């Protein structure tokens, strides 16, 4: 028999482990699942919000580091979380004036962001308990999470049955597959709200970013799209070539003023229906690279502008403005009120499918 030191033996396996992670205020138990692959990469995901609590990826020297923001314990997530690592639904990003019409009927939602609805309302999918099940596939180890959102929940029509499968693959990818069905026409837009910091700490302004998009959806002062698809050419929104996130973020630009930095949806070029490269992030200090592949049409790049130092997260880190970045694959914000945008309507008998891969490597 081949002898391996204990640590190597543990690392040489793809495995998933379930542990208790505390209780919600109403006494519901929360579990955390630890997924590991043979390279030592590790993802910890909890049943509250389907949240990615930590994600450890190697740097150019092979040293593992946690590349997502969040808390060490459940408590922080329950008290005050700007959607750290969570599944977002039923509708990711904003719905203007907190209402929309569907099949001639008007639906009123919660105004949890000024006059608008953000990330599904007051109690979105980030604040519910998902039912977890361990799954194994040829790609790696996975966690299947399901949740039934009731007809009328947060104002949305239809009982929506949602499943999200997280897989940690052999190739250092975190794959997220979303699907949903409904018993009545509704709107659906699901994403994950991880805040990445490929250095593991500090500002993200030195990270370099490429987004494969020649257009973005400009917004008004409430961050609701105007309906226009505008060329990025000659603007600080142009990430068609790798650019440092900090190089243009403070330029005099109406769109950057509205977002206090980047907080916009980019219209992806390569929409094939299959998985296509949407964005690439490189952090020069650690050498870490993250590539995002998605079946979605859009990606929200949010540069953590609303982090303000009031949150102390993992390892006592104070999360100041722009200490984390989100790249949320999605359909466009406010699509339910924009007839020219690709539809987010899901009808009875149809299936919502969406996949995104975050692939980690080094340069
Ligand atoms: C939005 C931001 C919002 C943030 C909440 C992002 O997806 O685009 O405007 O502040 O989520 O943490």
Q: What is the number of helices (H) and of strands (E) in the chain?
A: 3, 29
Ligand 1 nearest atom to the CA of residue 333, by list position? 8
Would you call 193 a catalytic residue per the annotation?
yes
**In this predicted structure, what is the pLDDT of residue 4?**
43
**In this predicted structure, what is the pLDDT of residue 3?**
45
CA-nearest residue, atom 6 of ligand 1: 302
* Distance between CA atoms of residues 69 and 77, nearest Å: 11
Residues with CB under 6 A from ligand 1: 82-83, 93, 223, 263, 300, 302, 306, 326, 328
Question: How many C-alpha atoms does 246 have within 13 Å on its Cβ side?
Answer: 10
Give the gyration radius of the chain's Cα atoms.
20
Ligand 1 pocket mutation, candidates 77, 326, 333, criterion most atoms within 8 A of CB: 326
* Residue for token pair 């690709």: 342
In this prediction the pTM is 0.96
Q: Are 129 and 28 in contact (CB under 8 A)?
A: yes
Residues 6+ apart with CB under 8 A from 290: 57, 67, 196, 198, 280, 281, 358, 359, 360
Residues 6+ apart with CB under 8 A from 357: 173, 174, 175, 176, 275, 291, 292, 293, 294
- Whole-number Å distance, alpha carbon 302 to ligand 1 midpoint, is 7
**In this predicted structure, what is the pLDDT of residue 252?**
98
**In this predicted structure, what is the pLDDT of residue 98?**
98
Coil/strand/helix, residue 331: coil
- Whole-number Å distance, alpha carbon 165 to ligand 1 midpoint, is 23
**In this predicted structure, what is the pLDDT of residue 19?**
98
- Whole-number Å distance, alpha carbon 93 to ligand 1 midpoint, is 7
Strand-pair partners of 173: 359
Ligand 1 nearest atom to the CA of residue 305, by list position? 10
Q: Are 245 and 209 in contact (CB under 8 A)?
A: yes
**In this predicted structure, what is the pLDDT of residue 10?**
45
Q: Tell me, rounded to whole angstroms, the distance of Cα 302 from its chain centroid.
A: 10
Would you call 254 a catalytic residue per the annotation?
no
93, two tokens:
């990003």
Q: Which of 14, 119, 193, 207 is catalytic?
A: 193
CA distances from 220 to 97, 207, 213, 256, 301 (A): 13, 27, 20, 11, 16
* Residue for token pair 């049943």: 47
* Distance between CA atoms of residues 185 and 120, nearest Å: 16
Q: What is the pLDDT along the chain (363 residues), one digit of tens a residue?
A: 444 444 444 444 789 999 999 999 999 999 999 999 999 999 999 999 999 999 999 999 999 999 999 999 999 999 999 999 999 999 999 999 999 999 999 999 999 999 999 999 999 999 999 999 999 888 889 999 999 999 999 999 999 999 999 999 999 999 999 999 999 999 999 999 999 999 999 999 999 999 999 999 999 999 999 999 999 999 999 999 999 999 999 999 999 999 999 999 999 999 888 999 999 999 999 999 999 999 999 999 999 999 999 999 999 999 999 999 999 999 999 999 999 999 999 999 999 999 999 999 999
Instruction: Output the DSSP codes for 160-198.
Output: EEEEEEEEEETTSEEEEEEEEEESS-EE-B-EE---B-T
Ligand 1 nearest atom to the CA of residue 259, by list position? 9
**In this predicted structure, what is the pLDDT of residue 137?**
83
CA-nearest residue, atom 10 of ligand 1: 306
Closest CA to 194 of 288, 95, 329: 329
**In this predicted structure, what is the pLDDT of residue 273?**
86
What DSSP state is assigned to residue 122? T
């Amino acid at each position: 028999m081949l002898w391996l030191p204990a640590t190597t033996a543990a690392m040489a396996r793809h495995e998933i482990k379930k542990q208790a992670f505390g209780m919600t205020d109403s006494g519901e138990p929360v579990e955390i699942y630890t997924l590991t692959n043979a390279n030592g990469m590790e993802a910890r995901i909890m049943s509250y919000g389907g949240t990615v609590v930590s994600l450890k990826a190697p740097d150019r020297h092979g040293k593992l580091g946690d590349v997502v923001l969040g808390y060490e314990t459940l408590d922080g997530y329950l008290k005050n979380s700007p959607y750290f690592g969570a599944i977002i639904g039923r509708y990711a990003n904003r719905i203007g004036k907190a209402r929309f019409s569907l099949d001639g009927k008007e639906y009123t939602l919660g105004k949890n962001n000024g006059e608008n609805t953000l990330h599904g309302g007051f109690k979105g999918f980030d604040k519910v308990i998902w039912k977890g099940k361990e799954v194994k596939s040829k790609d790696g180890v996975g966690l299947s999470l399901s949740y039934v959102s009731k007809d009328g929940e947060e104002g949305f029509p239809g009982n929506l049955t949602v499943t999200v499968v997280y897989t940690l693959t052999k190739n250092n990818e975190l794959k997220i597959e979303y699907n949903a069905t409904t018993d009545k026409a509704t709107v659906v837009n699901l994403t994950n709200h991880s805040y990445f910091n490929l250095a593991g700490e500090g500002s993200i302004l030195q990270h370099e970013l490429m987004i494969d998009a020649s257009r973005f959806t400009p917004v008004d002062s409430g961050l609701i799209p105007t309906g226009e698809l505008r060329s990025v050419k000659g603007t600080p929104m142009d990430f068609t070539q790798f650019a440092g996130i900090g190089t243009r973020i403070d330029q005099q630009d109406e769109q950057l003023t509205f977002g206090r930095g980047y907080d916009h949806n980019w219209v992806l070029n390569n929409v094939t229906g299959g998985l296509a490269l949407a964005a690439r992030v490189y952090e020069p200090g650690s050498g870490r690279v993250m590539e995002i592949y998605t079946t979605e049409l859009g990606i929200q790049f949010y540069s953590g502008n609303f982090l303000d130092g009031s949150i102390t997260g993992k390892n006592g880190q104070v999360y100041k403005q722009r200490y984390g970045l989100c790249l949320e694959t999605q359909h466009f914000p406010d699509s339910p009120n924009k007839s020219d945008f690709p539809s987010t309507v899901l009808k009875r008998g149809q299936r919502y499918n969406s996949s995104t891969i975050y692939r980690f490597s080094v340069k």
